[in-house]
Amino acid sequence: MRTFSTERKTAETDIKLSLNIDGTGKSVIDTGCGFLDHMLTLFAKHSRFDLDVTCKGDTQVDYHHTTEDIAIVLGNALSRCIGDAKGICRYGHIILPMDESLILCAVDAGGRACLNYKLSIPTEKVGDFDTELVEEFMAAFTRSAKINLHLKQLDGTNSHHIIEGAFKALARALKTAVSIDEKFKDEIPSTKGIL
């Protein structure tokens, strides 16, 4: 089982997180932000990763530190679960519809961090969640997971649908990228021999 559990405590957040990328999509999420809870719950479900997250953050300020720090811890946990990357498919992609929105997501779990973020979210907030934090989450997650992530909005007018589509698309693309290809389970998916 490819699993990792960790804790991270700063002056702004106190996070406990467990990740199993060979799971069934179970999750227990309590971030102090209802919308972020919703996004991480559906991320777990669609990636089939088991994910437990609790965070006590400075939400009296806003959700910035909570969102970014959870992304850092989640990305690091994913990187630790992937390990030397032996046998992984490495790449995953999807074009995912979410009502009127349409999101393209492509992932390379190849050990290099790069984010190409092209979402145009029309409102500044969904509930009390600042929609600019979606890019902050994706940037922090990409860096700490050491993945290449392309997120592109092909269509969409509803902020909730665009963001939900992005998290679902990321989950589905990652599910494929980190899955084990049984025909090549003892090989590193790179001509360099290392990721």
Q: Are 181 and 87 in contact (CB under 8 A)?
A: yes
Total domains, the chain = 1
Q: Which percentage of the chain shows pLDDT scores above 70? A: 100
Mean predicted lDDT score pLDDT of the chain: 96
- pLDDT given for residue 1 in this prediction: 79
Q: Tens digits of per-residue pLDDT, 58-96?
A: 999 999 999 999 999 999 999 999 999 999 999 999 999
Does 80 reside within a domain?
A: yes
Stated pTM of the model: 0.96
Residue 110 lies in a domain: yes
Q: Reduced to 3 states, what is the DSSP secondary structure of residue 130? A: strand
Q: Is the pLDDT of residue 168 over 80?
A: yes
d(CA 195, CA 193): 7
Write the burial class of residue 3 (CB in 10 Å: 0-12 exposed, 13-18 middle, 19+ buried).
middle
- Whole-number Å distance between alpha carbons of 192 and 195: 8
Query: Identity (one letter) of the amino acid at 148?
Result: N
Nearest to 13 by CA among 27, 33, 41: 33
Q: Which domain holds residue 105?
A: 3-184
Q: Is the pLDDT of residue 186 over 90?
A: no
Distance, in Å, from the CA atom of 179 to the CA atom of 175, rounded to the nearest integer, reads 6
Q: Is residue 163 part of a domain?
A: yes
For the segment 139-161, the average pLDDT, to the nearest whole number, is: 98
The CA-to-CA distance between both ends of the chain, in Å, stands at 20
Band of pLDDT at residue 112, cut at 50, 70 and 90: very high
Residue whose entry in the numeric block shows the structure tokens 């092209």: 118
User: What's 28's domain CATH number?
Assistant: 3.30.230.40
Kindly tell me if the per-residue pLDDT of 157 is higher than 80. Answer: yes
- Does residue 194 form part of some domain? no
**What is the total residue count of the chain?**
195
